[in-house]
Amino acid sequence: MQFAKRMDHFGEGIFSKLLEIKRQKEERGETVIDLSIGAPNIPPAKHIRDALCQAAAEPENYIYAISDRKELLSAVSEWYDRRYGVEIDPDTEVCSLLGSQEGLAHIALSIVDDHDIVLVPDPCYPVFADGPMLAGADLYYMTQKKENGYMIDFRDIPEEVAKKAKFMIVSYPNNPTTVMAPDSFYEELIAFAKKYQIIVLHDNAYSELVFDGKTCGSFLRFPGAKEIGVEFNSLSKTYGLAGARIGFCIGNSQIVSQLKNLKSNMDYGMFLPIQKAAIAAITGDQECVKTTCKAYEKRRDALCENMSAVGWKMDKPAATMFVWAKIPEGFEDSMEFALELVEKSGVLVTPGSAFGPSGEGYARLALVQDEDKLVMAARLIEESGILKRS
């Protein structure tokens, strides 16, 4: 058999590999504390679950959705106005996604042609690069350097690259580095995109998971943002709806229209009961958002403080549901470290190399276990002796 050459760019996804390692260890009766994939274990609030269950009980809701219900689009518009202070036209500036991952995998198909240049951050969430590669794009990595606070420095992008670039993806609060961007960054981003006529996608999945009394807004609140870009937002982490796959593309009407047109040829829309759950989430009582954020903040403290106490020094992240940590001394290869770590301690993390060239030398730990499990993870790592390898 012969297969598409594009698949030469793709091996098995890192999270599938890690899941198989976990499965094999558990089959042998071994304990695994999984801090790899960002699968939240905080369920949706009761009013959201109730809305989903009630809608799922109605026989008429099992037809093809085809498109987003006006009720959902209006709810998103009101949500962005209330939460971010951004006015959104519900008819032309919103498109639902079957999770941000689906949108990130497909949006480049509506923007780029073969060998168009797409600018992606490095390190980055894998699909930021995989989506454009599926569309046949050539990637240019925008390095997020630790010495620059993990901020993209647009001055580092060669002018000949900027002139050819058609599309760029940015994301703050950032996965995996966990940093937040100052207002000045977005002003520079918009000016850069306008100068070189580059379409911008800002992924804003973690704007509610911000700690230590800080807050985070939307890229779209800055003047000129909607002229050049869109924002992806997700209900997965904020409302515990990861498995329901609910995301939105919001902003520039031309970009949204092209994505809607593409999706009309690819899927039949979001399951109607899930649309009802999404409406309940973003229009209902928002105390659940504060409760979720507080839970992640406590987990952050438990993990970082206990890991640092046993010898794996970790800085506390300002946001997201992750910790980005330099791998311990004595290790050069993050995949080698992750494999030895899970083998010796039963603690599973994601190697930084999975997030691009600049991720090497780091590991990402997801705050997806309760505090007692995070404390246990630190103890198991200490007892394994892996931190004494140097």
Domains of the chain from N-terminus onward: 5-44+288-388 (3.90.1150.10), 46-283 (3.40.640.10)
Separation between Cα atoms, residue 19 and residue 94, nearest integer Å:
34
The pLDDT value recorded for residue 37 is: 87
**Do 325 and 361 meet the contact criterion of CB atoms below 8 Å apart?**
no
Between CA 237 and CA 38 the distance in angstroms is 9
- Say whether pLDDT at 389 is over 80: no
> 363 phi and psi, to 5 degrees?
-135, 145
Q: Is the pLDDT of residue 270 over 70?
A: yes
> Residue 5's pLDDT is what?
87
Residue 13 in this model has a pLDDT that exceeds 90: no
Element (H, E) at 296: helix 287-310
Q: Are 362 and 326 in contact (CB under 8 A)?
A: yes
User: Which residue, among 268, 256, 260, 261, has the nearest Cα to 232 in the 3D structure?
Assistant: 256
- Which positions ≥6 away from 377 have C-beta within 8 Å? 33, 35, 303, 306, 307, 345, 347, 369
State the chain's mean pLDDT as an integer: 96
8 A C-beta contact, residue 364 and residue 323: yes
129-136: average pLDDT:
95
As a whole number, mean pLDDT of residues 100-127 equals: 97
* Three-class DSSP category at 339: helix
Look at residue 316 and give its three-state secondary structure.
coil
Distance separating alpha carbons of residues 311 and 332, to the nearest angstrom: 17
Q: Of 272, 317, 278, which Cα lies nearest the Cα of 63?
A: 272
Q: CB under 8 Å to 105, separation ≥6 — which residues?
A: 127, 130, 131, 134
pLDDT above 70 covers what percent of the chain? 99
Tokens 């002139």 belong to 163
Q: Kindly report the CA angle at 190 between 143 and 218, in degrees rounded to 5?
A: 90
SS3 of residue 226 by DSSP: helix
Contact yes or no for 253/242 (Cβ under 8 A): no
Instruction: Tell me which DSSP letter residue 144 carries.
Output: B
Mean predicted confidence (pLDDT) in 68-87: 98
Picking from 2-16, 172-186, 356-370, which range would have the lowest pLDDT averaged per residue? 2-16
Between the alpha carbon of residue 53 and those of residues 21, 99, 236, 279, 331, the distances in Å are: 34, 20, 18, 13, 49
Name the burial class of residue 182, with classes exposed (0-12), middle (13-18) and buried (19+) by CB atoms within 10 angstroms of its CB.
exposed
CA dihedral 279, 283, 289, 291 (to 10 degrees): -110
User: Cα–Cα distance between 104 and 120 in angstroms, integer?
Assistant: 12
Confidence at 63, pLDDT banded by 50, 70, 90: very high
Model pTM score = 0.94
Provide the pLDDT confidence category of residue 390 given band limits of 50, 70 and 90.
low
Whether residue 97 contacts residue 232, with contact meaning beta carbons closer than 8 Å, is answered with yes
Q: How many CB atoms lie within 10 A of CB 156?
A: 11
Cα–Cα distance list, 266 to 98, 103, 261 (Å): 11, 12, 9
